[in-house]
């Protein structure tokens, strides 16, 4: 069903407040979730509030404030205090931007968090400040390495962002064929998963979301995607996570941000990024009616369309469940 953006914001904030977030935390988290909805990534939007509720219901220890565990002029390590990743990831990104603005480059890691969200959200924060950025986040082992059927790494997104004279160039992918949130949403809606994306606990292929959540997802891109996922897992370990984080706990988040003018004129670089993007889009397409796109083009276009409509479609059971909170 269609829901107006402002109505969705009110519902999201109220639900998050009922889950114990303060007003600022609820606003920050809702902004992230609604950006997912505007961009058509519904499994990472309002439905995630239900998953946050499920996770908090299983939490035995209260969360603690986000703390800086160690720091230099160009680096920092945050202990997330078992707080939501939307809050921890944003704080890490803000700190990376602050340090890169001042010193040219920054490396910030964070651990002891969960649900770090859509990395491109943080990349947009950095590229708006004319920074180049690399972000990675590991997670609970939900994904089997290529050639195996037991989980050994998370869905492990990785993201690069480049400022330009127009929209930033952002590439943000999960390294599994489907992500955890997609399987959870399919289970809530009584839907099956596509074939070939998951195994059950015994290692047999499955399309049942519950069986997949108890087994393992397949990696994206065969052995190449599996290798990239392993790299992301280790970057999360660098940020302080265990090598195999527990269920929805102890995720590791790493962000590297840098000013282009460490190497060349920022404005010249931005013009070159924009020129290269146009060269990619001008590529002769294989199918005449399907033009070549840059990464992030679809996402930006979907967001603009949703904003023009003033809202987006949400499965009715999901909206009703969030309202019920």
**Which domains does the chain carry?**
2-58+310-324 (1.10.1530.10), 68-176+219-262 (3.30.1370.60)
Query: What phi and psi, each to the nearest 5 degrees, are found at residue 162?
Result: -130, 130
Q: Which pLDDT score is estimated for 62?
A: 82
Say which residue the tokens 């914001």 belong to.
Answer: 9
Q: Which pLDDT score is estimated for 310?
A: 98
Q: Which pLDDT score is estimated for 35?
A: 98
Q: Which pLDDT score is estimated for 268?
A: 98
**Residue 78 host element (H or E):** strand 75-84
Integer Rg of the chain from CA: 20
Is 318 buried (19+), middle (13-18) or exposed (0-12) by CB count in 10 A? buried
How many other C-beta atoms are found inside a 10 Å radius of the C-beta of residue 249? 17
**Residue 298: CA atoms inside 13 Å, Cβ hemisphere, count?**
10
Q: Which pLDDT score is estimated for 117?
A: 96
Mapped onto helix, strand or coil, the DSSP state of residue 153 is strand
Q: How many residues does the chain have?
A: 325
pLDDT in tens, the chain (325 residues): 999 999 999 999 999 999 999 999 999 999 999 999 999 999 999 999 999 999 999 987 888 999 999 999 999 999 999 999 999 999 999 999 999 999 999 999 999 999 999 999 999 999 999 999 999 999 999 999 999 999 999 999 999 999 999 999 999 999 999 999 999 999 999 999 999 999 999 999 999 999 999 999 999 999 999 999 999 999 999 999 999 999 999 999 999 999 999 999 999 999 999 999 999 999 999 999 999 999 999 999 999 999 999 999 999 999 999 999 9
Q: Which residues pair with 171 in a beta bridge?
A: 160
Q: Which pLDDT score is estimated for 63?
A: 85
State pTM to two decimals.
0.96
Characterize 87-120 residue by residue with b for buried, 16 or more Cβ atoms within 10 angstroms of its Cβ, and e for exposed.
Answer: bbbbbbbebbbebbeeebbbbbbbbbbbbbbbbb
């Amino acid at each position: 069903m269609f829901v107006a953006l402002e109505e969705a914001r009110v519902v999201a904030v109220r639900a998050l407040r009922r889950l114990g977030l303060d007003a600022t935390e609820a606003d920050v988290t809702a902004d992230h979730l609604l950006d997912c909805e505007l961009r058509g990534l519904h499994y990472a939007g309002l439905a995630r509030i239900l998953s946050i509720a499920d996770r908090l219901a299983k939490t035995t220890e209260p969360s603690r404030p986000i703390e800086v565990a160690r720091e230099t002029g160009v680096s920092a390590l945050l202990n997330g205090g078992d707080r939501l990743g939307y809050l921890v990831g944003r704080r890490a990104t803000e700190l990376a931007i602050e340090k890169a603005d001042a010193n040219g480059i920054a490396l910030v890691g964070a651990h002891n968090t969960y649900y770090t969200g859509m990395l491109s959200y943080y990349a947009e924060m950095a590229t708006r400040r004319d920074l180049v950025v690399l972000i990675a986040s590991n997670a609970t082992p939900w994904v089997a390495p290529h050639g195996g059927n037991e989980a050994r790494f998370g869905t492990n997104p990785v993201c690069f962002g480049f400022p330009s004279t127009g929209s930033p160039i952002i590439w943000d992918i999960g390294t599994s064929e489907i992500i955890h949130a997609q399987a959870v949403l399919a289970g809530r809606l009584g839907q099956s998963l596509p074939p070939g994306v998951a195994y059950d606990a015994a290692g047999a292929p499955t399309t049942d979301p519950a069986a997949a959540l108890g087994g393992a997802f397949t990696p994206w891109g065969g052995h190449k995607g599996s290798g990239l996922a392993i790299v992301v897992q280790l970057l999360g370990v660098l940020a302080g996570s265990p090598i195999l984080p527990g269920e929805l706990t102890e995720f590791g988040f790493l962000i590297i941000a840098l000013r282009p003018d460490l190497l060349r004129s920022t404005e010249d670089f931005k013009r070159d990024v924009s020129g290269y993007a146009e060269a990619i889009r001008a590529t002769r397409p294989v199918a005449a009616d399907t033009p070549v796109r840059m990464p992030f083009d679809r996402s930006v276009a979907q967001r603009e369309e949703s904003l023009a409509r003033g809202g987006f479609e949400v499965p009715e059971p999901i909206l009703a469940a969030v309202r019920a909170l």
